[in-house]
Chains A and B, each alone.
Chain A
């Protein structure tokens, strides 16, 4: 569980996050949604410690992030996995080397044990046999899956995904969503997903945080989206005329 209390973040004069209170729950797909510039990425980067909050606190279970020393932060980070928007795969390394990198750096396992773990992670993301390919030799969807495999190789407690569906076709995007959701349930991870994708919101959004101009505008689950009358939420989710028509049809059927 990750708890955020009164989180504020400013860059010079510009106040991006204006006091966010939210709890990201364990074993659930926690989604951060909102328009471009709402502060989603800044919130995510604060959660993982790449940005320091201007004010407010972040708690990992009962650990107060701001009170941790460098070694404790390093230990906490070893419990985190992150899938980056651009995948952040190391170009000069093969798929296998990319996934093995955290193990090589931190684990005292034998080469055979590391190899088994890498193969397991590759199998888990359905990429068996891609060990020796380079990131440039595989598709965008496969790169995302390699990114997920690398993120889970150290058995993280927290999984962060920044726009996991960006640049993917709708079918591959669904596959990636399902994979992230399955992994979250299987390993009981606290998963935080930063997304624009409405399909993700409706399919896997168990705990949703809607940001609007740096403030928490709505929170709830995908089950509550249709029944809730929040205008900001509806403007965001059903932004296109097509989706608005679908929503109206769904409501009229109810």
Chain B
């Protein structure tokens, strides 16, 4: 019974064990650093430049909506207007930029990684590389994880800045508060630790998105239906794990 529980491909313990064990292969010494470097740069470009537009658009609206909704909540209170700038800044830095960006990237980058690697598996590209003597777990997966760890925190930074800008446009251009008040809010009660928290989350979420998605793609079996399912699982599992990690990190880093 216990053996079946641990060895069945339907068991979460089976996947957890395989996922953890797989890391020794992913982070083993590269055969050729130059080839890995080229692959990391390619992945950084794909993840970073490829996702910049969607991250920017989403962040503008998140910042704008946060500003408008907070001003609505403020309308019956005695809190000063400049609090809008303060709240938009902290909401973007602590939570919205990193979580929204990561959830969006899980959909865009994660599904893409799972489909790309799964496609390589189905077209026998991975077998071909293995036969050449390439450690495919390392060559195919490690550059994606490292590129994600570098680029996703950058995208989160962009998201935070653009989101704060979105709040500015909505509240200042929308005539809710003055520019001076918004700027005053941005400069008030700043806690540098919040930025550290944002980057800790960004790195953890980046790792979740890339490793979970690559795992789903690398071990795919079957045809196009299974590949589609793997791609969907990559997004769903990444999203759930991001939210769980968000909760845990929030408890640890704010206690």
> Are A and B a genuine interacting pair, yes or no?
yes
- Residues in A lying within 8 Å of B, measured CB to CB: 48-50, 74-75, 77-78, 80-82, 84-86, 88, 90-91, 101-102, 104-106, 154, 160
Contact B132 A78 (CB under 8 A): yes
- A-B interface pairs (CB < 8 A), number: 48
Q: Give A102 to B127 CA distance when docked, in angstroms.
A: 13
Distance in angstroms from B237 CB to nearest chain A CB is 26
Distance in angstroms from A35 CB to nearest chain B CB is 22
Contact B125 A82 (CB under 8 A): no
Contact A86 B124 (CB under 8 A): yes
Q: Does B131 contact A (CB under 8 A)?
A: yes
Q: Which residues of A lie under 8 Å from residue B133 when comparing CB positions? A: 74-75, 77-78, 105-106
Given A91-B123, A105-B132, list of 13 further CB < 8 A pairs? A49-B131, A74-B133, A77-B130, A78-B132, A82-B128, A84-B124, A86-B123, A88-B124, A88-B125, A88-B127, A90-B125, A102-B132, A104-B34
Q: Give A85 to B127 CA distance when docked, in angstroms.
A: 12
Q: Which residues of A lie under 8 Å from residue B254 when comparing CB positions? A: none
Q: Does B158 contact A (CB under 8 A)?
A: no
Q: Which residues of B lie under 8 Å from residue A105 when comparing CB positions? A: 31-32, 35, 132-134
Can you list 6 contacts pairing A with B, beta carbon distance less than 8 Å?
A: A50-B127, A74-B133, A80-B131, A101-B132, A104-B32, A154-B132
Q: Give A82 to B132 CA distance when docked, in angstroms.
A: 8
Q: Give A84 to B127 CA distance when docked, in angstroms.
A: 9
Q: Give A195 to B123 CA distance when docked, in angstroms.
A: 19
Q: Which residues of A lie under 8 Å from residue B124 when comparing CB positions? A: 84-86, 88
Determine which residue in B31, B125, B131 has the highest number of CB atoms from chain A within 10 A of its CB, and name it. Answer: B131
- Residues in B lying within 8 Å of A, measured CB to CB: 31-32, 34-35, 123-125, 127-128, 130-135
Distance in angstroms from A77 CB to nearest chain B CB is 4
Q: Give A77 to B129 CA distance when docked, in angstroms.
A: 10
Q: Give A110 to B252 CA distance when docked, in angstroms.
A: 52
Contact A106 B123 (CB under 8 A): no
Q: Give A197 to B134 CA distance when docked, in angstroms.
A: 31
Distance in angstroms from A75 CB to nearest chain B CB is 7
Nearest A residue to B42 via CB reads: A92
Distance in angstroms from A167 CB to nearest chain B CB is 14
Nearest B residue to A154 via CB reads: B132
Distance in angstroms from A131 CB to nearest chain B CB is 19
Q: Give A105 to B32 CA distance when docked, in angstroms.
A: 6
Q: Which of A48, A91, A106 contacts B131 (CB 8 A)?
A: A48
Which 6 pairs across A and B sit closest by C-beta, in order of nearness? A88-B128, A77-B133, A88-B124, A78-B133, A74-B133, A102-B132
